[in-house]
């Protein structure tokens, strides 16, 4: 059974940093595309950052230069380092994984292309 468990969310002031983690089990971790997505109330889920099976990252325009995605294959853990946080980054952040046809060298940022999801961790940034 595939399990993705996020942690590391919290409340910070604008300009601060957080590091999200996603522990993965029951999946072919090394051969998947994985990513972070977020959803604010009343908005559609959006791709924040994804990383391909060979380690190629992809970032949404709103987080480029501020967020960094990485993964530890030995620990089966995905990370998202978030710096220079803004109030508009406030959302529930979800970890996702998939190894289907959209898991290409540059992985998709569309939430529709990922079938396995964690429960989410809340990030709140105050001004």
Mean pLDDT along residues 20-49: 90
pLDDT of the residue at 105: 87
pLDDT of the residue at 7: 97
Strands 10-13 vs 121-126: parallel, antiparallel or unpaired: parallel
Band of pLDDT at residue 27, cut at 50, 70 and 90: confident
How far is residue 19 from each of residues 70, 81, 85, measured CA to CA in Å?
11, 4, 11
pLDDT of the residue at 78: 95
Residue 44 phi/psi, 5-degree rounding, is -75, 150
Pick the more confident residue, 102 or 124: 124
pLDDT of the residue at 30: 63
Is residue 28 scored above 80 in pLDDT?
no
Residue 52 phi/psi, 5-degree rounding, is -85, 175
Query: Could you report the per-residue pLDDT of 49-108, keeping only the tens digit for each?
Result: 999 988 999 999 999 999 999 998 888 899 999 999 999 999 999 999 998 888 888 899
Shortest CA distance to 21 belongs to which of 124, 121, 125, 97?
A: 121
Calpha distance 69→33 (Å, rounded): 12
Locus of tokens 């990252």:
57
């Amino acid at each position: 059974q595939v399990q993705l468990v996020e942690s590391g969310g919290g409340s910070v002031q604008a300009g601060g940093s957080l590091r999200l983690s996603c522990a993965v089990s029951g999946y072919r971790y090394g051969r998947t595309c994985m990513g972070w997505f977020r959803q604010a109330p009343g908005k559609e889920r959006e791709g924040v950052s994804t990383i391909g099976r060979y380690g190629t990252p992809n970032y949404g325009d709103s987080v480029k230069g501020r967020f960094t995605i990485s993964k530890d294959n030995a620990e089966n853990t995905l990370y998202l380092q978030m710096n220079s946080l803004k109030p508009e980054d406030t959302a529930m952040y979800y970890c996702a994984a998939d190894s289907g046809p959209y898991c290409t060298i540059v992985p998709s940022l569309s939430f529709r292309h990922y079938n396995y999801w964690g429960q989410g961790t809340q990030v709140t940034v105050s001004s």
